[in-house]
Structure 1
């Protein structure tokens, strides 16, 4: 078990990241809340959590910038070592097999693969010898029911899935590395609310994942000392009947 200590949540100020940060503070974790451009959201969430007695720090960094990435870990550990990292921040920009470019691939890989890889290594390097750390990589259920939409994004998330497995091997037993792969949870890719509700139900169970279920999966992976190298898929079974297009277009 990785007991509540200090945890870095990348992209922790908005959407799913904000829900994870809020739940972690409520569970007794000291949260280092990372943001890039969402300064106002980070400030508002930080004030809200501090007002409830939570322990929160905020830190800005562009995860595609190597200098910022190095500085992020320095700032996050300034007041003591980290016990865990949630690699939640993600670049999600549309391209397909005909529009994919070197620039798109590089940008997605920088945020969705390189940053998680280097933050995982940095966590391992600073772990006290008497502690076991944990990393959770936020993946995507589409990796298990593949389609070619969001071409560069999908490549980068597939690479992060592989990172989850090899990092679990490389950093054991000091750091456990796992993943959560949600299906559609919030409106995505410019969907209307009606389109989101339809796509959210397009799965075997007739209901998609809820944010509270992602929070529960996160808590399970943090609390269970015998789990490493695993990915929890939360998509109502949609990956077992994959569509030809991304759910954003259905």
Structure 2
């Protein structure tokens, strides 16, 4: 059976941990050649001739451009861009400084814009490509203390639609994935920091009709489909992957 991404070249920002690692692992299994672009080195076990690490600070435009150029030099082109890297902090509007807001927008919104801007002509030259942005269910709703994060992810969703409209004529598709709760080292640290983590885990699980929490591989599976030729009629969409969480209405019981 042929691999769905055989012959494709992909950049995955933040591809060395969490959701990004799940995407990297699935892309590798499906035959893609991958450049992991992020600030810190990923686990050595995932690196080989077909999966390489390109160090870049995604707050710096020159480093973004260099990372894309190095990917093309290494693999000969670019077919897939996954804008996954992002940051999150909990501060209300009153608590947040202007510098806090700017940092969130620089990493979560400006970096995907600059990467996409660099990627579009490269994809056009190869007859098309797939842009995949990692949004969030917090681009649709919000948790307390997340005005900047929610704004950045809502921006990603809108950006996705606009890029799809502008560049469909180039054979370039652009879609977003909006994950819900996905298990990771960071989410585990967050849960363990709660005073009653066992109760929080039970309540969190009860929020999901799927009967479990998400795994990075779940997002990777969807990303493979969006990157492959199986999804050539899908563009401009935000695919919510949250185990049904946002469809479950709460009841005032308890």
- TM-score scaled by structure 1? 0.85
- CA distance 1:117–1:28, shift in 2 (3 Å): same
Is 1:183 aligned to residue 190 of structure 2? no
2:220 matched to which residue of 1? 215
Contact between 1:19 and 1:211, CA under 8 Å: does it hold in 2?
yes
- CA distance 1:180–1:4, shift in 2 (3 Å): farther
- CA distance 1:11–1:126, shift in 2 (3 Å): same
- CA distance 1:113–1:57, shift in 2 (3 Å): same
C-alpha deviation, 1:95, in angstroms:
1.3
1:23 matched to which residue of 2? 26
Give the unaligned 5+ runs of structure 2.
Answer: none
- CA distance 1:76–1:236, shift in 2 (3 Å): same
Q: Deviations over 1:173-205 (max 9, x none)?
A: 321000111101122672226334541431344
Aligned residue-pair number: 235
Looking at structure 1, the residues matched to 107 and 249 of structure 2 have their Cα atoms a distance apart, in angstroms, of 26
Contact between 2:10 and 2:79, CA under 8 Å: does it hold in 1?
yes
Q: Work out which of the residue numbers 66, 71, 75 in structure 1 matches 2:61.
A: 66
Matches within 5 A, 1:145-156: 145-156=141-152
User: Which SS does the other structure have where 1:137 is aligned?
Assistant: strand
Does 1 or 2 have the higher relative contact order (CA < 8 Å, sep 6+)?
Answer: 2
- CA distance 1:219–1:201, shift in 2 (3 Å): farther
C-alpha deviation, 1:129, in angstroms:
3.6
Matches within 5 A, 1:81-160: 81-160=77-156
Contact between 2:18 and 2:216, CA under 8 Å: does it hold in 1?
no
- CA distance 1:242–1:93, shift in 2 (3 Å): farther
Contact between 2:79 and 2:126, CA under 8 Å: does it hold in 1?
no
User: Which SS does the other structure have where 2:235 is aligned?
Assistant: coil
Contact between 2:130 and 2:227, CA under 8 Å: does it hold in 1?
yes
Q: Deviations over 1:157-176 (max 9, x none)?
A: 11111111101111113210
Q: Work out which of the residue numbers 25, 37, 61 in structure 2 matches 1:34.
A: 37
User: Which SS does the other structure have where 2:35 is aligned?
Assistant: strand
Looking at structure 2, the residues matched to 9 and 204 of structure 1 have their Cα atoms a distance apart, in angstroms, of 30
Q: Work out which of the residue numbers 5, 8, 19 in structure 2 matches 1:5.
A: 8
Q: Structure 1 residues 69-78 or 184-193, which shifts more?
A: 184-193
C-alpha deviation, 1:242, in angstroms:
7.1
Q: RMSD of aligned C-alpha atoms? A: 2.2
Is 1:56 aligned to residue 63 of structure 2? no
User: Which SS does the other structure have where 2:63 is aligned?
Assistant: helix
Looking at structure 2, the residues matched to 163 and 242 of structure 1 have their Cα atoms a distance apart, in angstroms, of 29
C-alpha deviation, 1:221, in angstroms:
1.1
- CA distance 1:232–1:62, shift in 2 (3 Å): same
1:247 matched to which residue of 2? none
